Structure 1
Amino acid sequence: MKNEDIRKRLQGIECFALDMDGTFYLGGRILEGSMAFIRKVKATGRRVIFLTNNSSKGSWQYVNKLAGMGVTIGKNEILTSGQVAAEYVLKTYPGKRVFLLGNENLRKEMEAMGVVLSEDAPDLCVIGFDTTLDYDKMCKVCDYVRAGLPFVATHPDFNCPTETGFIPDIGAILAFIEASTGRKPDRIVGKPYEEIVDCLKARTGLESGQMAMVGDRLYTDIRTGVDHGLLAVLVLSGETKAEDLERSEIQPELVFENLGGMVPYL
């Protein structure tokens, strides 16, 4: 695509939904070009919302982490799959009790939003990226799922990127549950599914065509844009490499080495 065409495509974007791990930072390190991108977006009167599938951290933790990196944002500028799951449960299962497979951060986030949690008498299950997972928890959640309780997952990611490689994410947990119970989640609410896009629209007051989804992962970030009408922008600073595009059915509209690559076109 010609430079002028790239510039025109980005011209109508009012808000960038920005993935975090592998896109803006990796572990505790801000990726090259990220700060230049943020400065340019703000200078041109646009907005950024950090949109993450990682439900193992609360929104307040992301605010604090970014502040420690020199990026000051408000809580409304962070949207996590854990928050989306809480909103989905409150809307779809009002007054129902939830067995949560998640760590203390996700527990605090959901309780703060009004979700009623129950270990022994739940009406449904919510599965998150549980970094405190143990065998007893897996047995318990499988019992509930096997018994037919509805079950919702925060996101589908198989691995979570770190500075030293990858660690198993919720996709591996869901595979365990399916192998034991024969059931997949009744609903997944994070990227690339519609629930997180609906929450994004509600949060910004914008329509899909006014927003870009920027990320490093084809099957979550880029598919979110492709499936829901957001401009799909891939950065090659994380999971996806240039050669992966050749064999992928999911194709972004724009590709940059990192966030800084967009700066000249904004």
Structure 2
Amino acid sequence: MHRLRNIETYLLDLDGTFYLGSNLYPWSLPFVETMNRLGRRFIFVTNNSSQNAKHYVQKIRGMGVEITEDQVFTSGQATIYYLKKHNYPRKLYLVGTPALEEEFREAGFMLTDKDPETVVLGFDLTLTYEKLRTACDLIRQGLPFIATHPDFNCPTPEGPIPDCGAMIALITASTGVKPKIIGKPYPEMIEALRARYGLENPATIAMVGDRLYTDLAMAEAAGIVGILVLSGETQRADLQGSEVQPDLVLENLGEITKALS
């Protein structure tokens, strides 16, 4: 636990780590207060591209936690960074929610089903059969296929619901094409984070999350400290036989607060 005292930046997952659905975990506000008191930086890093950064800021502020938009980074933002860095055409067919569409338009992309040059798939809570059909038709024509993140399920208070990874599986089953995936745990997410926040020294950065195959896999790939919290998807028994092993296993964020206090 002494390693925590060297951490200057905490990258935090949201669902299952900081809150669940619309319910803030009781240990989250004390964690934020401790970070602010000690002058440590914390950044929310989420694969959930169904909403944009502005939404998450409003949601978290509504829970009584004061943050800025600069403290939220989504797989949607990482995808925008990737597309711009690699000079993808600005005409996209985007399978996503209105919030994700807004984020892409604000970044200068034209969203259209008329002669687009790339297909981008997000976690689309407004998914329709027509959207799927159009995306598959375009991908069969040879358009590049990009997906924001690989999560198969999104946790909710009522139980898991199909996420972007499940939608990828459907499109791949139909077209035979696998997408380029950007979000956690892929290196493109790490690269975008480093570019946005100037993250350089791995020993001073920790990723805190509840999923081995995204949060902790990204920490391992980036060479930063990986902290698994058992407040969400992963249970202690899941560590047995897992290729991804965290540096620390904690019950929840509250244990970090206790250690630093």
**TM-score of the superposed pair, with normalisation by structure 2:** 0.96
CA separation in 2, counterparts of 1:30 and 1:191? 23
CA separation in 1, counterparts of 2:81 and 2:221? 21
State the shift of 1:27 in Å: 0.5
Residue 185 of structure 2 corresponds to 192
Establish whether residue 50 from structure 1 lines up as the match of residue 81 from structure 2: no
Secondary structure of the structure 1 residue equivalent to 2:43: strand
* Equivalent AA in structure 2 for residue 263 of structure 1: T
8 A Cα contact 2:47 2:149, kept in partner: yes
Secondary structure of the structure 2 residue equivalent to 1:17: strand
Establish whether residue 225 from structure 1 lines up as the match of residue 225 from structure 2: no
Deviations 1:122-158 (A, max 9, x none): 1111110010001111110001111111111100000
CA separation in 2, counterparts of 1:168 and 1:109? 22
State the shift of 1:265 in Å: 1.9
Residue 201 of structure 1 corresponds to 194
State the shift of 1:116 in Å: 2.2
Residue 14 of structure 1 corresponds to 8
* Equivalent AA in structure 1 for residue 246 of structure 2: P
Residue 251 of structure 2 corresponds to 257
* Equivalent AA in structure 1 for residue 192 of structure 2: C
Report how many residues are paired. Answer: 259
CA separation in 1, counterparts of 2:59 and 2:148? 21
Give the gaps of 5 or more residues in structure 2.
none
CA separation in 2, counterparts of 1:193 and 1:253? 19
8 A Cα contact 2:149 2:181, kept in partner: yes
* Residues 123-132 or 187-196, more deviating: 187-196
Give the gaps of 5 or more residues in structure 1.
1-5
Secondary structure of the structure 2 residue equivalent to 1:130: coil
Residue 28 of structure 1 corresponds to 22
Structure 2 residue corresponding to 1:121, chosen from 110, 115, 118: 115
State the shift of 1:44 in Å: 1.1
8 A Cα contact 2:89 2:117, kept in partner: no
CA separation in 2, counterparts of 1:247 and 1:37? 31
Deviations 1:184-230 (A, max 9, x none): 00x21110011221222222222133210000000000001011111
8 A Cα contact 1:22 1:161, kept in partner: yes
State the shift of 1:94 in Å: 4.1
Secondary structure of the structure 1 residue equivalent to 2:51: coil
Establish whether residue 136 from structure 1 lines up as the match of residue 121 from structure 2: no
State the shift of 1:259 in Å: 0.3
* Residues 101-110 or 27-36, more deviating: 27-36
Residue 109 of structure 1 corresponds to 103
Secondary structure of the structure 1 residue equivalent to 2:35: helix
CA separation in 2, counterparts of 1:258 and 1:84? 27
Residue 159 of structure 1 corresponds to 153
**RMSD across aligned positions (CA):** 1.1
CA separation in 1, counterparts of 2:89 and 2:238? 44
8 A Cα contact 1:14 1:47, kept in partner: yes
